[in-house]
Amino acid sequence: MDAALPLPRYIDATDPSPLSFSVCSLVADQTKYDRLLASFARLGFTPENTEFLAADNRNGNVFDGYTWTKTLLAHARGRYVIFCHDDVELIEDGYDALLGWTDWLDRHDPSWLLAGVAGGIYKPGGFKHRQLALHISDINGADRRRGTVPGRVETLDECFILMRRTRPVISSYDLNGFHYYGPDICLQAELLGGSSYAIDFHLWHHGQGQKGRPFRQLRRRFAGKYQHFFPGRILNCTTGPVILGAAPPAAPPVEPGDAGPA
> Where in 88-127 is the site for its own copies (CB under 8 A)?
111, 113, 124-127
CB of 217 to its own copies, least distance (A): 13
Instruction: Say how many residues make up the chain.
Output: 262
Give the number of other Cβ atoms within 10 Å of residue 145's Cβ: 13
Options 19, 32, 40, 88; binder of its own copies; rule CB under 8 A: 40
Tell me the C-alpha distance between 18 and 213, whole Å.
Answer: 43
Q: Does 31 bind its own copies (CB under 8 A)?
A: no
The DSSP line for 133-194 is EEEEEETTEEEEEES-SSEEEEEE-TTEEEEETTB-----SS--SSSSHHHHHHHHHHHTT-
Residue 33 three-state SS: helix
Q: Which residue in the set 47, 60, 141, 212 belongs to the binding site for its own copies (CB under 8 A)?
A: 47
CA 190 to CA 113: how far, in whole Å?
A: 9
Footprint on residues 194-213 left by its own copies (CB under 8 A): 194
Instruction: Return the residue of 31, 107, 141, 174 that touches its own copies, per CB under 8 A.
Output: 174
Considering only 21, 52, 83, 180, the residue that binds its own copies (CB under 8 A) is 52
The window from 95-103, 145-153, 200-208, 251-259 that contacts its own copies (CB under 8 A) reads 251-259
Is residue 48 close enough to count as binding its own copies by CB under 8 A?
no
Find the binding residues for its own copies in span 62-81 (CB under 8 A). Answer: 62-63, 67, 70-75
Burial 115-130 (b: 16+ CB within 10 A, else e): bbbbbbbbeeeeeeee
Taking the least distance from each CB to its own copies, the nearer of 25 and 102 is 25
For the CA atoms of 9, 15, 17, 22, the dihedral, rounded to the nearest 10 degrees, stands at 130
Looking at the Cβ atoms of 150 and 194, the one nearer to its own copies is 194
Told to check if 37 binds its own copies by CB under 8 A, we report yes
